[in-house]
Amino acid sequence: MASPNDLQFQEFDEAAELLSARPRGLHLSMVLPQTTSTTAAGKGGGRRRGGEDVKLCLFIGPFWICVTLVFSVAIGGNLSSFLSEKGNPSYHYRPQFHRVTIAALVIFMYAWLVPVGLWGFLTWRQGAERQIGGYSFLETVCVYGYSLFIYIPTSVLWIIPFEWLRWTLILVAMVISGSVLVLTFWPVVREDTKVMAVATVVTIVVLHTLLAVGCKMYFFQTEVHVTSAAPITPTINMTIATKAH
């Protein structure tokens, strides 16, 4: 009968070595099983192909989340405007395709430029403070990309024309999504000085709040129609005086 040691897979050993080599932070790497690793050369080639596949999979996820969020926000905003103007005889619906462009610019700039800045800042602080750990650029982008997933169903529910419900949904989405970012990056930044750690977390939360509130205010703002009173035409009584000659 085979002992438990004989039943261990080599992939599990490799995963244990990777985790032990990096005890801190979020380790997003994956170990794919190598089914064709009979020779040393084949094993090395399989590892390289597996690493490239993992990086590609991690990159595709945040990209498609951003694309889906762009269209859900833009289409949801158009439907919201249509429903809010329903019953207005002077309103003529026109598809607002420019909202897709605006949503794409805002969401992709946030999902890619903000992680670049944060990754550069953490890398700089890692060099200044040796005890500070850090994430790779791909890991930082993935965290930001996946944190935006909650806004996809939220933007669909924003179509419902009730302001109290929209603000409730945005508050819940910000808490869930923001907690992902804070809980992910706090173990890294807390090893920095107290001022820098608090400033970094506050900046992350503020930028995240600006994105959520900005999308809601621009794409799902309920227009308030003020009914103007009918103009009152004053009655002018003209008295014509006749003079006797």
Kindly give the residue spans of alpha helices, DSSP state H, lying in 85-162.
Answer: 98-108, 114-128, 137-147, 151-157
Closest CA to 137 of 119, 113, 163, 123: 119
- What's the confidence (pLDDT) of residue 139? 86
Range of the domain at 105: 46-219
Predicted pLDDT at 208: 93
Q: What is the pLDDT of residues 4-57, one digit of tens each?
A: 555 444 544 554 454 444 444 444 443 333 333 433 444 444 445 555 555 666
Q: Give the pLDDT confidence score for residue 52 in this predicted structure.
A: 55
Residue 137 is predicted with a pLDDT of 85
Secondary structure element (H or E) that encloses residue 196, with its range: helix 194-219
Reduced DSSP (H G I as helix, E B as strand, rest coil) percent helix, strand, coil of the chain, to 5: 65, 0, 35
For residue 105, what pLDDT is reported?
Answer: 94
Q: For residue 240, tell me if it sits in a domain.
A: no
Residue 18: CB atoms within 10 Å: 13
Banded pLDDT at 201 (limits 50, 70, 90): very high
Token reading at 166: 């929209």
Enter the tokens of residue 93.
């619906």
Whether 13 maps to a domain, the answer reads no
Q: Give the Cα separation of 147 and 106 in Å (integer).
A: 16
In this model, does residue 85 exceed pLDDT 80?
A: no
Q: Is residue 4 part of a domain?
A: no
Banded model confidence at residue 67, pLDDT cuts 50, 70, 90: very high
* Residue 112 resides in a domain: yes
Q: How far apart are CA 87 and CA 160, in angstroms?
A: 16
Report the percentage of the chain scoring pLDDT > 90. 30
Q: Per residue in 91-143, pLDDT tens?
A: 777 777 888 999 999 999 999 999 999 998 888 877 755 555 577 888 888 89
Q: What is the pLDDT of residue 175?
A: 93
Q: Give the chain's domain count.
A: 1
Q: Calculate what percentage of the chain has a pLDDT beyond 70.
A: 62
Task: Say which range, 82-91, 137-146, 173-182, has the weakest mean pLDDT.
Answer: 82-91
Tell me what the mean pLDDT of segment 237-245 comes to.
46
Could you tell me if residue 62 is inside a domain?
yes
pLDDT band with cut points at 50, 70 and 90 for residue 187: confident
pLDDT value for 180: 92
Q: Is 219 helix (H, G, I), strand (E, B) or coil?
A: helix
